[in-house]
């Protein structure tokens, strides 16, 4: 992930490339990102299915190599139709990597360490993104074509690392000696009924409609309304990733004692209101202040969301819910640029006004969902408030009975 994301620079600058370099305007740029998101829906589904059939390791390797080829092809497209078709195909291949990567993580570490493993994976991703956009901003100022070839090279490098790392992806088998560690880290499992999980997905969709403006409206707004250049935008995005690398693991550990939905509720509010600060205007200073605020919200929300999804059902059904959650993200990726382009055409800051409204709505919705679960409406097994003795009995049964 570190090698691959260190070269990830095409998607962050894709909207600028299409709107300004190709001269096709913000509306077409938004539609193109939406097409990429549509391909992501297909890729996320296929990636999960293929990982079950041929193994997560192979899917990751094929996805990275295919992505490298697709980026080179995309750099040669010069018509709107060819751009859209290539983007869709590229997205299918590229986004198949994500569910396979999650599966590989689950297969490589025991359950009680998966939350830290996901946080560590995000750290690697964001450490790579610290370099990628910054380098991409400099390269974009020289030639946009260089973005595609450097990104493709990073995909090939990441594929080579995976090919050399044959030991990854082996399923970790729990051993009796680990019982003590598992019990010490067990905070219980909140089994959420499908209706309440669907409500969680709906609230997540609202949040990601704002968050995914990062790939479409956000860079255009920074350039056109706040007067920032490409290298400044790339450097600004690097501040986000540096903050995540420096503080997210510490923040995740400090939030262990708090209920997931409560953490998400606060984080969602901070994230959305951080984006809303952009509507104030005022140049790079406001952009930096807004970024610091919404990054704090992002660090509170993203790791906890995945943990909540993974712990919302029995292990046998975990991959299905992760798949549904990933599909929800892909749907948001489709709709976000369309929403952003529409709002931008009405008034450039309108999308940030919408963020200010979505923040409290989503936050209150998550708090209400927590109330429903705590009251017992969304739980058909003991929740995080279950006794430690009951958790011990359940975990021992899970480790002894192979059919559990």
**CB-neighbour burial class of residue 143 (10 A; exposed 0-12, middle 13-18, buried 19+):** exposed
Helix (H, G, I), strand (E, B) or coil at 379: strand
Band (382; pLDDT cuts 50, 70, 90) = very low
Average pLDDT over residues 254-274: 90
For the chain, the average pLDDT equals 79
Q: 336-351, pLDDT tens digit by residue?
A: 888 998 999 899 999 9
Band (171; pLDDT cuts 50, 70, 90) = very low
Band (111; pLDDT cuts 50, 70, 90) = low
Residue 244 is predicted with a pLDDT of 86
Instruction: Look at residue 314 and tell me if it is in a domain.
Output: yes
Instruction: Look at residue 346 and tell me if it is in a domain.
Output: yes
Q: What is the pTM of this model?
A: 0.72
Of 31, 35, 34, 7, the C-alpha closest to 19 is 31
Highest mean pLDDT of the ranges 37-46, 65-74, 138-147 = 65-74
Of 261, 263, 268, the C-alpha closest to 383 is 261
CB under 8 Å to 137, separation ≥6 — which residues? 13, 229, 230, 231, 232, 233, 234, 235
If one compares 54 and 313, the residue with the highest pLDDT of the two is: 54
Average pLDDT over residues 53-71: 88
Going by the DSSP 8-state scheme, the letter that residue 375 receives in this structure is: H
- Joined together, the tokens standing for residue 103 give 């599966």
Residue 179 is predicted with a pLDDT of 38
Residue 396 is predicted with a pLDDT of 46
Residue 190 is predicted with a pLDDT of 59
Q: Structural domain tally of the chain?
A: 1
Instruction: Look at residue 183 and tell me if it is in a domain.
Output: no
Instruction: Look at residue 402 and tell me if it is in a domain.
Output: no
Asked if residue 109 lies in contact with residue 117, where contact means CB atoms within 8 angstroms, the answer is yes
Band (256; pLDDT cuts 50, 70, 90) = confident
Residue 206 is predicted with a pLDDT of 95
CATH number, residue 235: 1.20.1250.20
* C-beta atoms surrounding 259 within 10 Å: 19
Angle at 217 between CA 60 and CA 126, to 5 degrees: 40
Instruction: Look at residue 34 and tell me if it is in a domain.
Output: yes
Q: 140-165, pLDDT tens digit by residue?
A: 777 788 888 888 888 888 888 888 77
Of 360, 352, 219, 358, the C-alpha closest to 281 is 352
- pLDDT of 188 > 60? The answer is no
Instruction: Look at residue 64 and tell me if it is in a domain.
Output: yes
* Tokens 């382009």, located at residue: 341
Residue 167 is predicted with a pLDDT of 55
Instruction: Look at residue 387 and tell me if it is in a domain.
Output: no
Residue 177 is predicted with a pLDDT of 38
Of 242, 219, 294, the C-alpha closest to 12 is 219
Instruction: Look at residue 270 and tell me if it is in a domain.
Output: yes
**Residue ranges making up the domain that contains 231:** 2-173+190-381
- pLDDT of 367 > 90? The answer is yes
- pLDDT of 394 > 60? The answer is no
């Amino acid at each position: 992930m570190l090698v691959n994301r260190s070269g990830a620079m095409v998607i962050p600058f894709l909207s600028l490339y299409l709107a300004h370099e190709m001269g096709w305007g913000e509306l077409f740029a938004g539609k193109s990102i939406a097409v990429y998101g549509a391909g992501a829906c297909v890729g996320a589904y296929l990636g999960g299915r293929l990982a079950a059939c041929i193994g997560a390791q192979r899917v990751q390797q094929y996805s990275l190599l295919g992505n490298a080829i697709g980026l080179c092809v995309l750099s040669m497209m010069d018509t709107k139709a060819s751009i859209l078709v290539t983007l869709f195909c590229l997205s299918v291949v590229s986004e198949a990597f994500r569910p396979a990567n999650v599966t590989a993580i689950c297969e490589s570490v025991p359950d009680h360490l998966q939350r830290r493993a996901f946080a560590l994976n995000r750290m690697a991703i964001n450490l790579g993104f610290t370099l990628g956009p910054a380098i991409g901003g400099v390269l974009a100022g020289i030639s946009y074509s260089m973005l595609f070839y450097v990104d493709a090279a990073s995909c090939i490098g990441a594929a080579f690392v995976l090919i050399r790392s044959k030991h990854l992806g082996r399923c970790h088998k729990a051993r009796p000696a680990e019982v003590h560690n598992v019990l010490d880290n067990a905070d219980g499992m909140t089994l959420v009924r499908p209706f309440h999980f669907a409500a969680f997905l709906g609230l997540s969709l609202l949040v990601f409609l704002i968050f995914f403006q990062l790939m479409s409206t956000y860079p255009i707004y920074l350039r056109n309304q706040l007067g920032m250049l490409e290298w400044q935008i790339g450097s600004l995005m690097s501040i986000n990733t540096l903050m995540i690398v420096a503080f997210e693991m510490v923040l995740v550990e400090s939030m262990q004692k708090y209920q997931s939905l409560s953490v998400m509720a606060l984080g969602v509010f901070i994230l959305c209101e951080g984006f809303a600060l952009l509507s104030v205007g005022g140049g790079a200073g406001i952009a930096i202040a807004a970024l610091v605020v919404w990054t704090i919200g992002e660090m509170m929300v993203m790791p906890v969301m995945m943990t909540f999804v993974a712990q919302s059902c029995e292990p046998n059904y975990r991959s299905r819910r992760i798949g549904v959650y990933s599909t929800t993200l892909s749907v948001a990726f489709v709709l976000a640029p369309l929403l952003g382009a529409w709002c931008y055409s009405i008034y450039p800051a309108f999308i940030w006004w919408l963020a200010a409204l979505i923040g409290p709505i989503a936050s209150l919705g998550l708090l209400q969902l927590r109330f429903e679960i705590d009251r017992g409406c969304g739980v058909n097994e003991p929740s995080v408030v279950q006794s430690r003795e009951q958790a011990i009995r359940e975990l021992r049964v899970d480790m002894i009975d192979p059919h559990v």
